[in-house]
Structure 1
């Protein structure tokens, strides 16, 4: 009888396991749409890249995403995501996130905006990326009720739980998260007075200074001597646009005009704006917001909720005071009576008084504007905020800039 020695001595060789070792210094920044990368990450990615980080940007593909990646000098990966709840598309996007993380092997991820925060965060958790930072720029749950409110709470809770670190962009936002049972003090962070990116105050002021105020106003249908109240943002009920429309419908001084920069997202609001006639000028969204600031005398943001409104910092950079609400996030952007004026959400009477007060007192407006500019120069320097973000991404034991939120 013969013996099959080959069968006894053959050694089985298993396929090589995929290399999942993180690439040192590689970080993925993920946002849902390119507009967020364009406006919320200005300068931050380039700064990290110059400090030796291998930065990769991920978002849905659109013009703003490509522009942001080119501006920051980083590689861009398109990954379609929807802003609304779409289970099938979300499952497809999660699978793409997993494949991308397998390919890039990042040592850290920095995800923000709700959908990218959830999908990118879960994918990074499943692949055990060492540092998983979720930047909370607002809570969509505010203002919702019923089943949607519970669903949004659950997704926010899940996003925070799969992260190793959670950065809140304003003190009031962290308090709201704590009130709703979302804050985990073991992993929660804040940097300075708030904001996720600070403001390039000198660049904003330089661009605004290049624009001829009189010519710009003429082009926008505004008079050289008008008192112009500016609104910047999505033209929706969430931003309180109905409140500012109500206020302007009651104004009797024809010299006070409204300039809205943004896209109407609600047909009813668009119709209400039209009723104001020549009292209001509407400009569609523009990537040259800084160039339009010189047309305004005061910024008005009657918002119902925010994370931290960057537009207030941009207005402050050119020495412009802001009228805004005591809502989450917004309340942190203004020092009431010093850099601007606050009012309660929905209090149109006080909003009207604030508009009249600043329209009638040039000295007060200039004093508040100067204080607002000084505040952004001292408290919202981008490099300081970026350094705090870097400390979190590095897992520094004793950070010098970022500080933990105790939840007390």
Structure 2
């Protein structure tokens, strides 16, 4: 099968959860014998070419911010009209404005389209594009052959804009379960030395964008005032959102900030606790990878978290913006080492249900069904 896979970024560009998921899916499809071509914007540092048997086509865009998105959408339109006919299936990884450009082209070429919606709630694709949809009417989502929802919240949002239930499938994110495995005591000590982290600390890790909706304001407020062990360390690994107001972040004895890295696995395996206070999400890749690495999870109930985590068994869940509950949950995992380790053990077991092989089984089946039903 020839798969044309559209995404907003691809390795080796700085990779967040969505980008890592795109790479995992494209490579797994290739391992199964499919021919996958990834299409994404070009930056000044990356060029088109093969990466791990996946051909990556990077399209031109103007880097100046006012024209950045518009120039890429124009390039995307030209590429789609010229090339979609050469593929069997079109896969759009993240349902943003690119869907409204690509789907009409695919319909014109009589090719089925699979779209993934990555996030629900106030920063999700459906709500975020509501103003633009006054013109586009969510054309891409409503006319796709199949739309992937990561959570029940996203399912309900899709129905609310007129996507037929029969076209919506619930498929989670996946991960490389064997690669994201817990580190033993010696390996953890070595990783901490390699990363310049204190060996004896209880490390609480947040990994992701430093954006307001990720709940960092509440996390800092709680961390500054909570009663915690003196050797507890809050470690933030990620990048700032330039369009978002940020809390003051400064390194200190109990707070350490590191820039984003494509080797987030090392930080996960060096930590003890993963905290995720986000207000909105689909299914957090970072949360899933932290579970697989055997970390004790403290997370909000946003997105698919309640479907991923059994509260009190494989993690602790709390309502977004509830600082009291966040304080209580962090305190419990920091002071009770036995409970912390048991949460991590159960989280690791639960993550085994989300292997990338299982996820691509579902996507592959959807492709086949779309092709049988394609006009």
Measured in 2, the distance between the counterparts of 1:68 and 1:363 equals 49
Q: How does 1:11-30 map onto structure 2 within 5 Å? A: 25-30=1-6
Q: Distance in 2 between matches of 1:82 and 1:368?
A: 47
Partner of 2:100: 118
TM-score (norm 2): 0.85
SS in 1 for 2:100: helix
What's the secondary structure of 2:279's corresponding residue?
coil
Counterparts of residues 149-188 of structure 1 (less than 5 Å): 149-151=130-132, 157-178=138-159, 180-188=160-168
Matched, 1:375 2:350: yes
How far apart are residue 188 of structure 1 and its match? 0.8
Q: Deviations over 1:53-77 (max 9, x none)?
A: 2211111124997699512x12111
Residue 134 of structure 1: aligned partner: 115
Give the alignment's TM-score, normalised by structure 1: 0.78
**Partner residue, 1:95:** 77
CA 1:345–1:263: 2 relative to 1, 3 Å: same
CA separation of 1:32 and 1:349: change in aligned 2, threshold 3 A: same
Q: What's the CA shift for 1:133? A: 0.4
Conserved? CA contact 2:73–2:98, under 8 Å: no
Shift in alpha-carbon separation, 1:386–1:143, aligned structure 2, 3 A? closer
Q: Is the 8 A contact 1:320 1:372 kept in 2?
A: yes
For 2:142 and 2:260, the matched residues in 1 are separated by 35
Q: Residues 325 and 344 of structure 1 are in contact (CA less than 8 Å); yes or no, is this contact kept in structure 2? A: yes
* Number of the residue aligned with 1:339: 314
Deviation at 1:348, TM superposition (A): 0.9
Q: CA RMSD in A?
A: 3.3
Partner Cα separation in structure 2 for residue 70 and residue 341 of structure 1? 38
Shift of 1:139: 3.8
Structure with the greater alpha carbon radius of gyration? 1
Verify: 1:280 aligned to 2:255, yes or no. yes
State the Cα distance separating 1:210 from its structure 2 match: 10
C-alpha change, 1:358 and 1:140, in structure 2 (3 Å) is: closer
State the alpha-carbon separation in 1 of the partners of residues 23 and 41 from structure 2. 17
Alignment counterpart, residue 353 of structure 1, candidates 324, 328, 333 = 328
Please say if residues 229 and 257 of structure 1, whose CA atoms lie closer than 8 Å, have aligned partners that are also in contact.
Answer: yes
Structure 2 residue runs of 5 or longer lacking an equivalent are none
User: Which consecutive unaligned segments of at least 5 residues does structure 1 have?
Assistant: 1-24, 399-408
Give the superposition deviation at 1:389: 0.3
**Residue-by-residue CA offset, 1:194-247 (whole Å, 9 max, x unaligned):** 22xx111111117x5698433543565543222211000001102111111111
The size of the alignment, in residue pairs, is 363
1:106 aligns with 2:80: no
> Separation in 1 of the partners of 2:49 and 2:298?
30
- 1:262 maps to which residue? 238
